[in-house]
Amino acid sequence: MFRLDPNFSHQYKDLFLQITLNTLVGVDCLICFRSSQYLFKEFNPNLLAHKRAKGVFFVDPLTILLFGIIGFVVVVGIISVLIYNSLVSTLKQVENAWAQIDVQLKRRADLIPNLVETVKGYAKFEKGVLEGVTQARAAIMGAKSPKDSAKADNMLSGALKSLFAVAEAYPTLKANENFKALQEELSSTENKVAFARQFYNDMVMKWNTMILTFPNNLFAGMFGMNKEKEFFQVNDEERKAVKVDFSKM
């Protein structure tokens, strides 16, 4: 019934736990320090015997020091487990975010045949534009490397843009319910691809921040989880605006 959600605990539980554990570590260090101080500087066997004789509850400093060290090790152990778990769950979130981008890209590719069928009926529609879209989709399906699929992806965006630009000149096509629905679907899918990439970048930012901030940075190297991830970026040649070339149609 009172399941602790990872997002919620990130807000409240984390702060509460951090304060508690840091206080414990601080108190522990204080105990170790004071008891070792007593042990090495002020050690007075007569004082110890005197206090025991008085019947006051007295534990000798060596025991306190040992308990302090054990307590310190236990608390650090708990902290390292918590940090390890949060690192693992964030890493999985980053991987999931990357996979989600592909889901949206595939969805866009799947919508294309439907669009081509709807537009084909308008016989006067420029064949070249339709062919451009079909070819771009084929390129995506056949892409072998991430670089190829990024190029094909860009080609498809450009082809779709020119298709919708040309469709402006066909009022009957524009009014076609199917076409309007497809237009909304495709534009929504383009948005979803963009937002999926944005979410991936947000997760990468969260991960990079997590492995670099204190105290996680102390433990991340130990667990082999200190590699920063790359942001999804548009490289320079893709940044150039896609040219709509009507001469080739």
Partner 1 sequence: MPMDFYKQISDNKRMTYFLFLAFFVLIGVLAFLFSYLLGGFNIYGLSYFMIFGFLTIIFALVSYYTCDSIVTFVSGAKEAPQEQFKQLHNIIEEMCIAGGIKKPRVFVIDDTAINAFATGRDPEHSVVCVTTGSLTRLSRDELQGVIAHELSHIKNYDIRTMTIATVLVGVAVLLSDLILRFAFYSKGSSDSKDSKFFIILLVVAIILAALTPIIAELIKLSVSRKREFMADAGSAELTRNPLGLASALEKINKDKEPLEAANKATAHLYIADPLKGQKLFMASWFSTHPPIEERISALKGMK
Q: In this structure, is the dihedral angle defined by the CA atoms of residues 29, 226, 12 and 79, taken in order, positive or negative?
A: negative
Report the residue number, 80 or 93, with the smaller CB distance to partner 1.
93
Dist. CA 156–CA 51, nearest whole Å = 86
Q: How many binding residues for partner 1 (CB under 8 A)? A: 21
Among 13, 34, 51, 192, binds partner 1 (CB under 8 A): 192
Give the shortest CB-39-to-partner 1 separation in angstroms.
Answer: 40
Dist. CA 84–CA 210, nearest whole Å = 11
Among 95, 110, 184, 245, binds partner 1 (CB under 8 A): 184
Among 140, 196, 204, 211, binds partner 1 (CB under 8 A): 196
Contact (CB, 8 A) for 174 and 141: no
Q: Phi first, then psi: give them for residue 239, nearest 5 degrees.
A: -70, -25
Can residue 237 be called a binding residue for partner 1 (CB under 8 A)?
A: no
Q: Build a one-symbol-per-residue string for 76-95: x at contacts with partner 1 by CB under 8 A, - elsewhere.
A: -----------------x--
Can residue 183 be called a binding residue for partner 1 (CB under 8 A)?
A: no
Can residue 115 be called a binding residue for partner 1 (CB under 8 A)?
A: no
Can residue 100 be called a binding residue for partner 1 (CB under 8 A)?
A: yes
Contact (CB, 8 A) for 69 and 28: no
Give the shortest CB-199-to-partner 1 separation in angstroms.
Answer: 5
Can residue 110 be called a binding residue for partner 1 (CB under 8 A)?
A: no
Q: How many CB atoms lie within 10 A of CB 151?
A: 17
Report the residue number, 7 or 235, with the smaller CB distance to partner 1.
7
Can residue 15 be called a binding residue for partner 1 (CB under 8 A)?
A: yes
Among 90, 104, 176, 183, binds partner 1 (CB under 8 A): 104
Give CA separation, 125 vs 21, 67, 109, in Å.
69, 84, 21
Residues 6+ apart with CB under 8 A from 207: 90, 91, 93, 94, 228, 229
DSSP string, 170-239: -HHHHH-HHHHHHHHHHHHHHHHHHHHHHHHHHHHHHHHHHHHSTTHHHHHTTTT--PPPPPP---HHHH
Q: Build a one-symbol-per-residue string for 202-231: x at contacts with partner 1 by CB under 8 A, - elsewhere.
A: xx----------------------------
Interaction site with partner 1 (CB under 8 A): 5, 7-8, 11, 15, 93, 97, 100, 104, 181, 184-185, 188, 191-192, 195-196, 198-199, 202-203
